[in-house]
Structure 1
Amino acid sequence: MSRQPEWHIMFRTHGVIDPRVSAFSIGDGFPKFMEENNVDLGTLLVIERVDVESLHVTIYRRPDETTPVLTPPPSPQTDLRPHFRKTLRATNVRVSKSTRLDIPTAFWRSLGEERFNGAWYTLEGPLHTVLVKSGTYSSAKQTFCFLTKGWIDFVAMNRLNLGDTVVFTLVGVAEFEVTMV
């Protein structure tokens, strides 16, 4: 499992109402990142927050250069089967009874919420296969689907870490193949 390159960028937040949407870069980390990755006008950066100190960036070039730089494209075989990709956050890997993995809304909606309401799934990982339970939580405004009981065992047995990106490919009615990117 190779680590992806890292650039250290300092951000300072301003604004009192919502600091999540009012940040700017200080220091030379971001210009260095842009230079080393040939980011120019027309390049799309998809930035995903991993945790309070880490971001995961996928770079897409202009239409004539569609291959992402930091995240390899999924294989054609994987594209044909239902799948989702997650970059692991602290809440996904900490050792706690409440550790869980949230399933992206678009994914579970495409299959139906009822498939994740207490069902057990087999996760075939890179090193070990583990049985995990799914669950749902609904509030007045939103519904969430998770992998819960057994998930932390899967993390430990497959040596997953904060910041790792994994792809979950549905290979059976209640079975996912989980691969590292």
Structure 2
Amino acid sequence: MSRQPEWPVMFRTHGVTDPRVSAFSIGDGFPKFMEDNNIQLGTLLILERVDNDFLHVTIYRRPDETAPVLTPPPSPQTDLRPHFRKTLRACHVRVSKSTRLDIPTAFWRSLAWERFDGPWYTLEGPLHTVLVKSAVYCSAKQTFCFLTKGWVDFVAMNRLNLGDTLVFTLVGVAEFNVATV
């Protein structure tokens, strides 16, 4: 289980004092990230907000670029079942009743959010299988889908740690196979 590299990047708000409606710009740290990862014109970055302190970046390069990619794009797989990747952050592994894992928006939208509004899912992990409840939170601006009750048990029983990257593959109506990469 490898830990992904991290770069401290400063985000600053401009204009409005309420951060929910102000513009963000990338400040200190981003030039170092771009240099270390050889980000060039035409390189696509997908930024996934993990929590208030972390973004997960997936780098997609033009086919003619040969520089190594630290977060590789998904390789073509013969298994075409729906799946998603998550790199575990502190909010995903802390020991607390409120610990939960957010399901990426693109994944739950492809299946319909209603599918995650309350049912229990079987997570077949590297060491143990655990039942985990799903939940949906809807606000006026956004919808979130989570794995909630039982998630902290899944983390502990499968000895998962901060920085581990997991692949969740939907293998049944309410069952995920969870593998570490």
TM-score, normalised by the number of residues in structure 1? 0.77
CA RMSD of aligned residues (A): 3.0
Aligned to 1:48: 48
Alpha-carbon separation, structure 1, partners of 2:101 and 2:80: 23
Instruction: Work out the number of aligned pairs and report it.
Output: 179
34-43 vs 48-57, which moves further:
48-57
| 1:141 to partner: Cα distance | 5.8
| 1:25–1:178 Cα change, 3 Å | same
| 1:108 to partner: Cα distance | 2.9
Aligned to 1:81: 81
| 1:168 to partner: Cα distance | 1.0
Secondary structure (helix, strand or coil) at the match of 1:77 reads coil
Q: Which has the higher contact order (CA 8 A, sep 6+)?
A: 2
Question: Contact between 2:88 and 2:162, CA under 8 Å: does it hold in 1?
Answer: yes
1:30-58 Cα distance to aligned partner (Å, 9 max, x none):
33332222222222222233344333222
| 1:10–1:156 Cα change, 3 Å | same
- Percent of matched pairs sharing the same residue: 82
142-151 vs 5-14, which moves further:
5-14
1:76-115 Cα distance to aligned partner (Å, 9 max, x none):
3365001122233443222222222222344334334443
| 1:154 to partner: Cα distance | 0.8
Aligned to 2:167: 167
More helix by share: 1
Unaligned segments of structure 2, at least 5 residues: none
Task: Name the amino acid aligned to 2:73.
Answer: P
Aligned to 1:22: 24
TM-score, normalised by the number of residues in structure 2? 0.77
Within-5 A mapping of 1:73-112: 73-77=73-77, 80-112=80-112
